[in-house]
Amino acid sequence: MKRTMKVVFSLALLLLPLASAVDFDFTYLVQQLDQKWPSLKQTNLEFWSHEWKKHGTCSKLTQYGYFEAALKLEKLTNNLTKILADRGVGPSDVNTYTFRKISDALNQGHRAHDLLQVQQEQGRRYAAVRGVSVRRPLRREAHQLHGVAV
């Protein structure tokens, strides 16, 4: 309990000076970040502070909103991975999947149409899930990228 309070206090000291004067309860957020977004090379606090300074300050989110969004993105990723696995699509060095198979699996899992889309930016194609870009180029000539046939 003391460690959590120390981390919460430290996180607030590092992040809140950059935020508006709104008070946030970081306790729950820090517990979730400890579990879902730990650092492998430095303390979690140093890692999160770096992520905020490098990426969060460019967003229109508050610090709390930025880290809350990161946790929601992690949950979305896990949900999508489970939906795909339940429909026979998973990471593989051997198997490839067509864009259609992946798209159909996601659409069935979410009961939504066109959940997976291809976006083009600066002449490169990217897979995107409802606007969340995967940022891995889709190369038509390769016909395969990380287990996904294009």
Q: 47-95, pLDDT tens digit by residue?
A: 999 999 988 888 888 888 889 888 888 887 777 788 888 988 888 888 8
Tokens of 92: 């593989």
pLDDT recorded at residue 2:
47
pLDDT recorded at residue 28:
87
Q: 103-146, pLDDT tens digit by residue?
A: 888 777 665 556 667 777 788 776 666 544 444 443 443 333 33
Burial grade of 145 (CB within 10 A; 0-12, 13-18, 19 or more): middle
pLDDT recorded at residue 113:
57
pLDDT recorded at residue 111:
57
Give the residue among 103, 132, 108 at the shortest CA–CA distance from 119.
132
Q: 21-57, pLDDT tens digit by residue?
A: 445 677 888 899 999 889 999 999 999 999 999 888 8
